[in-house]
Structure 1
Amino acid sequence: MPVAELRSKIRRKVEDRLDRAAQVYLDDRALARADFSAPAGEASLSSPDSVSWRIFKNPVTLFIGGVAAVILELAEPRVRSGVWEHSNFRKDPVGRLKRTGLAAMITVYGARSEAETMIARINTVHDRISGVTPSGAPYHANDPELLTWVQATAAFGFLEAYSAYAFPLSDADRNRYYAESVKAAALYGASAAPRSLAGQEALFDVMTSKLEASDIVFEFLTIMKKAEAFPQPAQIAQHSLVRAAVELVPGNIRSILGLDRRYGLRPFEGRVVKRMARRADRLVLRSGPAATASRRLGLPDDYLYRRP
């Protein structure tokens, strides 16, 4: 058998095994399931050649970027109170991770009608969430300012995690990504979400003065290091992935939060994280949202795994 053919067969076996492991891990009856294969031919909010489709296929950088985004969200006191007081994150972190991940996948890869229906449900839930922070500041989950911060931090986290650990992105890629995200952001109510890299940087400059340290940030990091966020054996590297997320947070915000060098990557860990992320970026999970959505639109399973 030719070497190339042998390598292809071995690769396919590895991909199939990982695909089955992912299916077992995500097989949660309490988790709403989505059919990314239907309706056949229906477009998503973003096109298959978008930067979003490219980066959301990578489970390693999605985890890293998601953790970085939550760190930034928890730095804002009103967002922090809304998240920490009105969710079951502390009791069921893995279930919350799965549901949040599914929502992100539907937003990016789901048929537009499915994404719009899901986002409307989420907005209805947010309408009922309000309160007052420990310092006395009122908040409402559907406050456009807070929604814009949540949208911007999520976009920043996913984008920069992919660029730092999987495949470097140019500023042109970043500008395109933010422009592509406006449609979904508007549906979520984030009317002032950044439309460009300059817009993201400007928003971070404005919001930094409103951020503050909190023990909740450290509690969150401890939870994320212990939660079974990946199937075995990938959990072994989870501590490193959390530290990789801290590394993405802008230095001035890390200083505000008290996230010194102890919380960032050790020298050897950066190589490990990049190796994991780059391998994840090449493995085709045929039952996953990226491949299934590609088939819905008549594209091959490996459409998103071909290097530009």
Structure 2
Amino acid sequence: MGVRELLAEAVFTRVAGEDGPDRRTRIHGEVGPRRFGPDDPIWGVHGDASMFVGGIRALLLQSLHPLAMAAVDQHSGYRGDPWGRLQRTSGFLAETTFGTVETSERAVRIVRAIHGRVHGTAPDGRPYAADDPHLLTWVHVAEADSFLRAHDRYGARRLTAAERDTYVAQTAEVASALGADDPPTDTEGLRARLEAFRPELVSTRAAREAARFILLTPPVPWTLRAGYTALGAAAVGLLPVWARRPLRLPWLPITEATAFRAAGGAATSTIRWAMQAPSTFEEPAPSAEAGSGPGRQG
């Protein structure tokens, strides 16, 4: 096995888990109607290496909502099993993006059932529940904004304005199914909704600790540490200034525009190159009912 295949296996196993190849084959090879197809923006964004940057940015941004962060801090076990949490998240994204309607709906039912059991009290005394439509909307908005901005900067192909709006609308379908409250359906609505959440976002000890864990002490083997550091720097570089101060993250405009951006581009390009290794994780042929046509919904 060559360097490319070894790198692909290391990255894919970390993100998707030991059963990742089998799950990938099942998701892509399953016959049945799909909401989205290969020509849809959501396929292009969620299948691109820029998602590594977008995922880190989303976690940092989401941590700023004290109720959402309390739920993660008290229930997710991200410190003890961060890769397990990442693998469950990546699996849900894969099933709802690339899977059949049946697969997507099953994934949504499972997550909704889990959310129904997650509730408690935040350190500030307020109750929270993971199935709260308002909190679900925040999590969705932070993810959609992060994934889209990371793709704008580091994606293999830049989306047109119309494709960016379509991407937001397509992600809103999944968010609505999860119970989010009227998620935005275009980029302007996404920007406005993110701005509307700002008064609720604050610095908390849990958020600062999560940022340190994500950026400084992640359970990453030394062979991948340099690449992960580059991805983390790229993610911080995409955060707005107002989101950095509460997390005590620096704003270095010149460095971010040069060194961070170059490092992020190199890291995502390397991951993209590795994951395209044809002999490692062969892409299953799309089924006859996948993508556009009578089986397509939405």
Instruction: Sort the TM-score into its range (normalised by shorter chain).
Output: 0.7 to 0.9
* Partner amino acid, structure 2, of 1:194: P
Q: Distance in 2 between the 1:98 and 1:58 partners?
A: 16
Shift, 1:31, TM fit: 11
Matched positions, count: 283
Residue equivalent to 2:264: 273
> What value does the CA root-mean-square deviation take over the aligned residues?
3.0
Contact in 1 for aligned 2:35/2:101 (Cα 8 Å): yes
**For the structure 1 residues 120 and 276, does the alpha-carbon distance in structure 2 shift closer, same or farther, using more than 3 Å as the test?**
same
- Structure 1 residues 253-284: Cα deviation after superposition (integer angstroms, max 9, x where no partner): 22344322269848423212112323544652
Gaps of 5+ in 1: 1-12, 300-308
Q: Secondary structure at the match of 1:261?
A: coil
**For the structure 1 residues 76 and 22, does the alpha-carbon distance in structure 2 shift closer, same or farther, using more than 3 Å as the test?**
closer
Residue equivalent to 2:294: none
Residue equivalent to 2:55: 66
1:112 to 75, 86, 101: 101
Taking structure 1 as the reference length, the TM-score comes to 0.80
Contact in 2 for aligned 1:57/1:281 (Cα 8 Å): no
Counterparts of 1:11-30 in structure 2, within 5 Å, are: 16-22=5-11, 25=14, 26-28=16-18
Shift, 1:183, TM fit: 1.7
Identity of aligned residues (%): 25
Taking structure 2 as the reference length, the TM-score comes to 0.83
Q: Distance in 2 between the 1:296 and 1:22 partners?
A: 26
**For the structure 1 residues 244 and 211, does the alpha-carbon distance in structure 2 shift closer, same or farther, using more than 3 Å as the test?**
same
Contact in 2 for aligned 1:66/1:158 (Cα 8 Å): yes
Q: Distance in 1 between the 2:161 and 2:266 partners?
A: 23
Report 1 or 2 for greater relative contact order, CA contacts < 8 Å, sequence distance ≥ 6.
2
**For the structure 1 residues 22 and 247, does the alpha-carbon distance in structure 2 shift closer, same or farther, using more than 3 Å as the test?**
closer
Residue equivalent to 1:52: 42
* Partner amino acid, structure 2, of 1:222: R
Q: Distance in 2 between the 1:109 and 1:232 partners?
A: 32
Residue equivalent to 2:293: none
Gaps of 5+ in 2: 291-298
Shift, 1:65, TM fit: 0.7
**For the structure 1 residues 243 and 23, does the alpha-carbon distance in structure 2 shift closer, same or farther, using more than 3 Å as the test?**
closer
Contact in 1 for aligned 2:29/2:286 (Cα 8 Å): no
Q: Secondary structure at the match of 2:27?
A: coil
Residue equivalent to 2:276: 284
**For the structure 1 residues 14 and 295, does the alpha-carbon distance in structure 2 shift closer, same or farther, using more than 3 Å as the test?**
farther
